[in-house]
Amino acid sequence: DVKVTQSSRYLVKRTGEKVFLECVQDMDHENMFWYRQDPGLGLRLIYFSYDVKMKEKGDIPEGYSVSREKKERFSLILESASTNQTSMYLCASMIQGDQPQHFGDGTRLSIL
């Protein structure tokens, strides 16, 4: 089974802080994704990475950046956290383009 691990289940940060969300997968998958999920809006793609050091913007990249220094790890960075970034953040990995994605447990992030 694919194991995707997110560093925190719950996180509370303050406005203006730089926030790091970490995600690790153990299946040597090329592709990794960061989503946020909000009520009524569904899953929205923030960024994804298809190889080490490679990244591509998703639908809502503003206010976020990512880092993929190692294949197994994909980090999401909130450069200067704002209250509208309070959300559930989900990391996923996928082996190749026509395969399903597998998710971590999610991080519930609150920005105060």
Partner 1 sequence: RKEVEQDPGPFNVPEGATVAFNCTYSNSASQSFFWYRQDCRKEPKLLMSVYSSGNEDGRFTAQLNRASQYISLLIRDSKLSDSATYLCVVNRGGNNRKLIWGLGTSLAVNP
Site of interaction with partner 1 (CB under 8 A) = 31, 40-43, 45, 48, 50, 58, 88, 90, 94, 96-106, 108
CB of 43 to partner 1, least distance (A): 4
The amino acid at residue 3 is: K
CB of 70 to partner 1, least distance (A): 19
Residues 6+ apart with CB under 8 A from 98: none
For partner 1, the closer of residues 38 and 79 by Cβ is 38
Dmax over Cα atoms in the chain, in whole Å? 39
Q: Is residue 76 within 8 Å of 89, Cβ to Cβ? A: yes
CA distance 106 to 51: 22
For partner 1, the closer of residues 30 and 72 by Cβ is 30
For partner 1, the closer of residues 15 and 99 by Cβ is 99
CB of 111 to partner 1, least distance (A): 18
Q: Which two tokens stand for residue 6?
A: 């997110």
